[in-house]
Chain A
Amino acid sequence: MINYKRKWFAMLALIFVVILAACSNNGGSNGTSSDKNSSTGNTGTNSENVKKVTIEYWHTYSDAEEMVLTEKIKPLFESEYPNIELKLTRMPYEGLKQQVIAGVAGDAAPDLMRMDIIWVPEFAAQNALMDVSGLEGFEQLKSQVFEAPMETNFYEGKYYGLPVNTNTKVAIYNKSTLAEAGLTEAPKTMDELVAAARVLKEKGKYGMGVSGIHAWGLAPWFWSLGGSITNDDYTEVDGYLNSEASVKALETIIEWNNEGLVLPVMLGGEPGTWDGIISGEYLMSDDGPWFYSTKIAEQEATGYDPLEETVRALMPAGDGGSRSVIGGENLVMFANSKHPEEAWTFAQWMLSQEPQTIMAETGLIPANKAAADAMKGMDIPFVDTFVAQLETALPRTPIPQWGEVEAIFNLAFEKAIRGEQSAKEALDEAVNQINAILK
């Protein structure tokens, strides 16, 4: 009986502890939760930098890139700023967005993150990110980086991050197939490319390198042909996505497809883009620098030398010029960061020339213009074309609703290309649906 009572009390005590802890979250105050970011257990102070402050940085760098990060970047930064410790956390892609959301919602977000450019407006709209436009040194940084990648951080008049690396796609041609088409150098205009494609069609090969029915694959073509998605402010689609020029651009792509000039992979067929370029069945497609960095890394095992076997050039110019699409990542700071000053210090530092040049060793194109230029001197021979294309590349619409807008865009294009709707119908319908979302 005595044992029984003791057990009772023990249980009760446990219960009280747990209930107290669980109830604390209803109190709403977050000050008591232990700061996981502080290395020695004290909450770092901003003014006196006597105690060491730890800032956490989430990234998704690949193996090779992460090595550069940990072996060169981190020591360099910490030697220049001995009071700040840099904690690097690598995250997997699968479920990443959910992790960011959980982190923000639970007030456990990192201080900084290398975030997909597409997500920045979304999280900015949720007030999750820190506005950097007013911070000291911002204007100077802005002038040092490429304009278009910078724009991907824009939301409602302010900027919520800095581009840390950028990329774009250029036209990559199989050298021998190019010769088969009767050309000695890459076509400069769409018309030239179409002519080459027609020649190759007789030989069972494909010339128009649209790689898929999605914004990433279609945008360079659509834009180069004169199409547009929104106005310059990214606020209107009516009159842009369904403008005459856009309709004409889509109709051109449809015609190419009906004529059999487009890569089968666009409709999900075979071979895949890279395999097609390597084998020569595809004259060309548009892709990013990772084609070269990956293939060069595999060169020993496969024997394929991408630099020898391919020719790279700017996207062929159409009515819209030579356009391509911007990808890359932005460096953002979270609004609830406990160490905003130190985080900003790191952000500024990451964008200065030396670190940017170091990261460029991995083949990632720096957002810092001077470092990108310097890349040409490095032993990364393929970068020149990409940097050149960056001058005229455009971002996908940087708005919070881009995810849904893209889905509508893709569907409209798919219906039109598969002949279920005319180009004009598809685009008009898309505009209606997008307007419903933008409200």
Chain B
Amino acid sequence: MSNSLLTPELIPDRPSSKSKFKKGLRQWGAVFPYVILGFIGIAVFVIYPMIRNIMISFQDYSIMPNAANPWVGFDNYLRAFQDPNDRFLIALRNTFLNVIATVPVNWFLAIFFAVLINAKFVKFKIAFRTIYYLPIVTSWIIIALLFKYLFADGDGGLINYVLHKQLGILPEAISWRNNYWSAMVMIWLFHIWKTVGWGVVIYLAALQGIPKDLYEAADIDGADAFQKFWRITIPLLGPITLFVLINLINGAFGFFPQVYFITQGGPMNQTHVIPSLIYIEAFQNLKFGPAAAMGVMMGILVFLLTYTQMKKIGRQRMF
């Protein structure tokens, strides 16, 4: 009988610490073959680099293989705040701006389109859903190239062409990449275009889950479309809205391709977010110490934010 190997927890509990230890060992023994490969992989390729990063953040790091790398305490961290151009603080601000700008719009569009597509009389729901989700499956790098192209300066860029030449909405063609606000708008539009489909899909599924009798009862009471929307749909979507918002916020925090491949942080380092700033500091300016320090600080920040979210919501499982 191989019971003891399979279900170690069935062994009757003996209080002595020695056997607890043995029990622990046995449990490890059972699970070992399954997790060991994963653990090694993680240890070598994830944990080790991360520890390296933390170490580098305290060193004056040189890329030469056998360099001395003297310890400099919190110098690299202070550097981030002493920058005459405040790039780290700007990147921080941009991160929050990105969240504030994209999350509400993303959320609203998601629910808006989902509700419309879900309307009873709309046919080809699956087709629409496929199309709306299409941008998400495509490669960030390629779409970044595409957006750079669409937003090109002058009337050569399609966006300028349409808004300026054809529709006359803009007084003159905007040089999108050369102004802070227009560049940010470009990044936001890029992100929203590429990710709104996700919210649409989630809400579509959620809407399917709302019992139809509620709507029928409302119809009997003479409610119109708007009333049904506000008093039935929205409240019932409460829990999933929370899920959507959390994910949207996390997504907005993690901008990298959105910024790096579109503006490279320009103009003048003003559109950077922290990951892109780290990349440039490390791989363009060869300043690994400060870059690592910024990485660690961002890690702490994200951890704190996520921790408070987790506390409020508990473990999320949505299927």
Partner of B65, one of A106, A404, A432, A436: A106
**Bound state CA distance, A101 and B36, in angstroms?**
32
Chain A contacts with B in 14-32, Cβ cutoff 8 A: 14-15, 18-19, 22, 28, 30
Residues of A within 8 A of B283 (CB): 95, 97-98, 101
**Bound state CA distance, A105 and B56, in angstroms?**
13
Cross-chain contact B156 with A272 (CB below 8 angstroms): yes
Cross-chain contact A15 with B40 (CB below 8 angstroms): yes
B63 within 8 A of A: yes
B268 within 8 A of A: yes
**Bound state CA distance, A11 and B269, in angstroms?**
49
B28 within 8 A of A: no
Partner of A403, one of B84, B177, B285: B285
Cross-chain contact B65 with A105 (CB below 8 angstroms): yes
**Bound state CA distance, A15 and B43, in angstroms?**
12
Q: Which residue of B lies closest to A21 (CB)?
A: B44
Chain B contacts with A in 48-96, Cβ cutoff 8 A: 48, 62-67, 84-85
B273 within 8 A of A: no
Cross-chain contact B285 with A433 (CB below 8 angstroms): no
B309 within 8 A of A: no
Residues of B within 8 A of A140 (CB): none
Residues of B within 8 A of A157 (CB): none
Q: Which residue of A lies closest to B67 (CB)?
A: A127
Cross-chain contact B85 with A269 (CB below 8 angstroms): no
**Bound state CA distance, A272 and B173, in angstroms?**
13
B154 within 8 A of A: yes
**Bound state CA distance, A8 and B32, in angstroms?**
9
**Bound state CA distance, A203 and B50, in angstroms?**
62
Cross-chain contact A15 with B36 (CB below 8 angstroms): yes
Residues of A within 8 A of B175 (CB): 267-269
**Bound state CA distance, A104 and B64, in angstroms?**
6
B287 to chain A, nearest CB (A): 9
Residues of B within 8 A of A432 (CB): 84
A373 within 8 A of B: no
Cross-chain contact B177 with A126 (CB below 8 angstroms): no
**Bound state CA distance, A98 and B278, in angstroms?**
12
Cross-chain contact B284 with A403 (CB below 8 angstroms): yes
Partner of B85, one of A105, A267, A335, A433: A433
A75 within 8 A of B: no
A411 within 8 A of B: yes
**Bound state CA distance, A272 and B32, in angstroms?**
63
Given contacts A267-B175, A268-B177, A407 and B153 within 8 Å (CB-CB):
no
Given contacts A15-B40, A267-B178, A269-B153, A126 and B64 within 8 Å (CB-CB):
yes
B110 to chain A, nearest CB (A): 32
A107 within 8 A of B: yes
Partner of B33, one of A11, A105, A268, A270: A11
Interface centre among B2, B173, B269, B285 (most CB of A within 10 A): B285
Cross-chain contact A411 with B64 (CB below 8 angstroms): no
Chain A 257-281 near chain B by CB (<8 Å), digits 1 or 0: 0000000000111111000000000
Chain B contacts with A in 133-172, Cβ cutoff 8 A: 153-156
**Bound state CA distance, A226 and B286, in angstroms?**
33
**Bound state CA distance, A432 and B84, in angstroms?**
10
Cross-chain contact A126 with B65 (CB below 8 angstroms): no
Cross-chain contact A270 with B156 (CB below 8 angstroms): yes
B5 within 8 A of A: yes
**Bound state CA distance, A1 and B4, in angstroms?**
12
Cross-chain contact A268 with B178 (CB below 8 angstroms): yes
Residues of B within 8 A of A335 (CB): 64
**Bound state CA distance, A18 and B41, in angstroms?**
9
Interface centre among A270, A410, A414 (most CB of B within 10 A): A270
**Bound state CA distance, A271 and B153, in angstroms?**
9
Partner of B66, one of A28, A97, A269: A28
**Bound state CA distance, A18 and B273, in angstroms?**
37
Q: Which residue of A lies closest to B157 (CB)?
A: A270
Residues of A within 8 A of B154 (CB): 269-272
A365 within 8 A of B: no
Residues of B within 8 A of A336 (CB): 64-65
**Bound state CA distance, A22 and B48, in angstroms?**
10
Partner of B36, one of A11, A30, A267, A414: A11
Q: Which residue of A lies closest to B178 (CB)?
A: A268
A5 to chain B, nearest CB (A): 11
Chain A contacts with B in 66-98, Cβ cutoff 8 A: 95, 97-98
**Bound state CA distance, A22 and B45, in angstroms?**
10
Residues of A within 8 A of B285 (CB): 403-404
Q: Which residue of A lies closest to B44 (CB)?
A: A22
Chain A contacts with B in 120-173, Cβ cutoff 8 A: 122, 126-128
A7 within 8 A of B: yes
Cross-chain contact B40 with A270 (CB below 8 angstroms): no
Residues of B within 8 A of A269 (CB): 153-154, 173, 175
Cross-chain contact A270 with B84 (CB below 8 angstroms): no
A110 to chain B, nearest CB (A): 15
Chain B 1-45 near chain A by CB (<8 Å), digits 1 or 0: 010010000000000000000000000000011001100100010
Residues of B within 8 A of A271 (CB): 154, 156
Interface centre among B32, B33, B286 (most CB of A within 10 A): B286
B249 to chain A, nearest CB (A): 29
Cross-chain contact B65 with A107 (CB below 8 angstroms): yes
Given contacts A98-B283, A436-B84, A407 and B65 within 8 Å (CB-CB):
no
A102 to chain B, nearest CB (A): 9
Interface centre among B5, B63, B269 (most CB of A within 10 A): B63
A262 to chain B, nearest CB (A): 14
A247 to chain B, nearest CB (A): 21
Q: Which residue of B lies closest to A436 (CB)?
A: B84
Cross-chain contact B64 with A128 (CB below 8 angstroms): yes
Given contacts A8-B33, A122-B286, A269-B175, A128 and B63 within 8 Å (CB-CB):
yes
Q: A18-B44, A127-B67 are in contact. List 12 more A-B contacts (CB 8 A).
A: A11-B32, A11-B36, A18-B40, A22-B48, A101-B286, A126-B64, A270-B154, A272-B156, A403-B285, A404-B285, A407-B268, A432-B84
Would you give 30 A-B contacts (Cβ < 8 Å), ordered by A?
A11-B36, A11-B37, A14-B37, A18-B40, A28-B66, A101-B283, A104-B63, A105-B64, A106-B65, A122-B286, A126-B62, A126-B63, A126-B64, A127-B64, A127-B67, A128-B63, A128-B64, A267-B178, A268-B178, A269-B175, A270-B153, A270-B156, A271-B154, A271-B156, A403-B285, A404-B285, A408-B85, A410-B268, A433-B84, A436-B84
